[in-house]
Amino acid sequence: MRKVLGTLVVLAVLIGTQIAAANAAIVTFRQLFGGPLPDWALGIFVDSNHIYVVGPTYSFGPNIPNLFLSIFKLDNTHKCSVAVDFGMGIGDSGLRVVAYGGNVYVVGTTEYGTTPSPNVPENILLVKFDTNCNVLRAAVYDIDVRDVPYGLSISPDGSTLYIAGYTAGRSSSGAILLAIKTSDFSVAWAKLFNFTNPTPEERDTAYSAAFSSNKLYVTGRTSTGDLFVSRFDAATGNHELSKVFSTPQPEEGVDLVVAGDKVYVAGNYNDPIKRRDLLFMRLDTNLNLELARTFGTSATDEVSSLSMVGGLAYAVGDTGYFGTWNAALFAIDPSTGELSHTFVLMNGTYGRDSASTGTCLIFAGGSDIEGHWPTFYGVLDTVIAGTISFTISSPSPSITSLSVTPVFPTPTAERFTPTFNKPSGWGDVLYSWFCLNVMVVSTTTTSTVLTTSTLTLSTTTTKTEATTLTHSTTYSTTTTLSTTTTITQSTTTTLITTTTSTQYFAEPITTYVVPVLLVVIAALLGASLVIGQKRKSSPG
């Protein structure tokens, strides 16, 4: 029993040491918020001052569902939240968000519109806020029966917003790009483009657009299930170059990031054996493919966002590996295409969008209707990496310039304070920080080398003695004296070799080490109690 108690003490000390070491160098945070009815996040953005989260809410504002915006400070304290409504029987939702110069721009969908349809129309909604959640302007863009935005980007000078999505209707269907002036929300240019012959049910879709060096890079999928990447002139909307990547299976590009002179694309690939996998690609700015890899488990894995953090490309999405959907973060080395690590936010979560602070990933999504809380990170170590071979073509899409005139309705804005970290049971908004913890492990090897050298010095002395005798006879006697001196020198050389390896942990290692140690402690304690009982019951 004493040995077991001693072990428990050692393990307790180890746990305490581990907690102190890990928590000293890591920043992690998970926050759940919402109201009594379903709420979830579809977009997130971060700048030097705030975190911006958007999506639909069924809990706040009149005439639900409504678009909501929540703003947090970087210390995760809640600054403000607002629900935006456009009238009775009209559903509204926020999809993506960017901020620039004290203004916040949210793109989403609304049923406010005039296009006749057997069904309620869905149009593009754009709302401008200040950083106190005050609504400054709202506009609705009606192209055809159904208009859905997916991607939102802003020019470096903050003058132009770029919206990627699709339209489907009687007169036009296909991928769309809109350039919107932030000064008055007027349309600078709008393009409809297709690589295939679309229908309202099956059409090309643009999922993401990224601005870089006066170019607009766009990715999505064709109506035939192929991935495309295109480059447009950001000022005019003129098409410059496109590549279509095809396999016998469906694939799509859902997000892209331009960093330096490289274009990184995250998408989904329907693997014929492993179901649905993450697809990661690297291209140059002329859209030449440099590498392509797939990653996935034996279950369905999907991604919806891509962010560059600390030299790694993070693809954010979901995995069904554990039987229920959970948010999954795949970290990929963009230079080699190798998988660095994969973490899962357990307990029924999903990821829909992500943003980067440069050193931390912040992603948003929601929790499932069962309302598990708190959540915890787990390591997903069953990811299989694969290669993929494309048939690559360089078609010129059919392009039509669209004439789009916005309308400017006046919404109702209702401020609210959500409930935090208390599941509603209907699904809630979730966002989480995921920061790299750099743990440097140094191994020092000391080698002592003893070197002995012997130096021998020989000295010869010649002594001549002359003796003179009578009768003129002279005798000479020569004596040779030899002296040998030996000098031994010992030199000790110490060689010190230090090997430094860097290991990345995106969550304090206590998240998964401490539970294991606690299980070991419990097992040892249980064993000790059993042994103690047996000893008590033994005769004598």
Q: What pLDDT tens digit does each residue of the chain (540 aa) get? A: 433 333 323 333 333 323 223 332 345 689 999 999 999 999 999 999 999 999 999 999 999 999 999 999 999 999 999 999 999 889 999 999 999 999 999 999 999 985 555 456 799 999 999 999 999 999 999 999 899 999 999 999 999 999 999 999 888 899 999 999 999 999 999 999 999 988 878 899 999 999 999 999 999 999 999 999 999 999 999 999 999 999 999 999 999 999 999 999 999 999 888 789 999 999 999 999 999 999 999 999 999 999 999 999 999 999 999 998 999 999 999 999 999 999 999 989 999 999 999 999 999 999 987 767 888 888 998 999 999 999 999 999 999 999 999 999 999 999 999 999 999 989 999 999 999 764 333 334 444 444 444 444 444 444 444 444 333 344 444 444 555 444 455 444 444 444 433 344 444 434 444 443 444 445 445 545 444 454 444 444
Which one, of 207, 211, 106, lies nearest residue 160 by Cα? 211
pLDDT at 463: 46
Count: domains in the chain: 1
Reported residue count of the chain is 540
- Distance between CA atoms of residues 159 and 161, nearest Å: 7
Going from the C-alpha of 69 to that of each of 33, 75, 96, 306, 438, the distances in angstroms are: 12, 18, 10, 22, 33
- Distance between CA atoms of residues 228 and 164, nearest Å: 13
Residue 218 and residue 208 in contact, taking contact as beta carbons nearer than 8 Å: yes
pLDDT at 275: 85
Q: Is 530 strand, coil or helix?
A: helix
Token pair of 69 as six digits: 């915006």
List the domain range (segments joined by +) for residue 108. 29-437
How many CB atoms are closer than 10 A to CB 33?
22
Query: For residue 338, how far is the Cα from the chain centroid?
Result: 14
Q: Is residue 303 part of a domain?
A: yes
- Distance between CA atoms of residues 406 and 185, nearest Å: 8
Q: Is residue 141 part of a domain?
A: yes
Q: Is residue 299 part of a domain?
A: yes
The three state secondary structure string of 435-449 is: ECEEEEEEEEEEEEE
Q: Is residue 86 part of a domain?
A: yes
Residue 252 and residue 220 in contact, taking contact as beta carbons nearer than 8 Å: yes
State the distance between the two ends of the chain, measured CA to CA, in whole angstroms. Answer: 19
pLDDT at 514: 43
Query: For residue 11, how far is the Cα from the chain centroid?
Result: 34
User: What DSSP letter does each residue of 162-182 carry, written as one string?
Assistant: EEEEEEESSS--EEEEEEEET
How many CB atoms are closer than 10 A to CB 484?
9
Beta bridge partners of 26: none
Query: For residue 153, how far is the Cα from the chain centroid?
Result: 18
Q: Is residue 240 part of a domain?
A: yes
pLDDT at 200: 77
pLDDT at 202: 86
- Helices marked H in 304-381 — which ranges? none
Q: Is residue 495 part of a domain?
A: no
Token pair of 6 as six digits: 């001693």
The residue written with tokens 């050389």 in the block is: 493
Q: What CATH number is attached to the domain comprising 321?
A: 2.130.10.10
pLDDT at 138: 98
Residue 36 and residue 424 in contact, taking contact as beta carbons nearer than 8 Å: yes
Which residues contact residue 443 at a Cβ distance below 8 angstroms, ignoring those fewer than 6 apart?
A: 498, 499, 500, 501
**Global confidence as pTM:** 0.79
User: What DSSP letter does each residue of 236-256 carry, written as one string?
Assistant: T--EEEEEEEE-SS-EEEEEE
Beta bridge partners of 86: none
pLDDT at 198: 83
- Distance between CA atoms of residues 518 and 341, nearest Å: 25
Q: Is residue 527 part of a domain?
A: no
- Distance between CA atoms of residues 539 and 532, nearest Å: 13
pLDDT at 89: 85
pLDDT at 455: 45
pLDDT at 372: 78
pLDDT at 261: 95
pLDDT at 274: 79
pLDDT at 437: 62
Q: Is residue 244 part of a domain?
A: yes
The residue written with tokens 């009238």 in the block is: 87
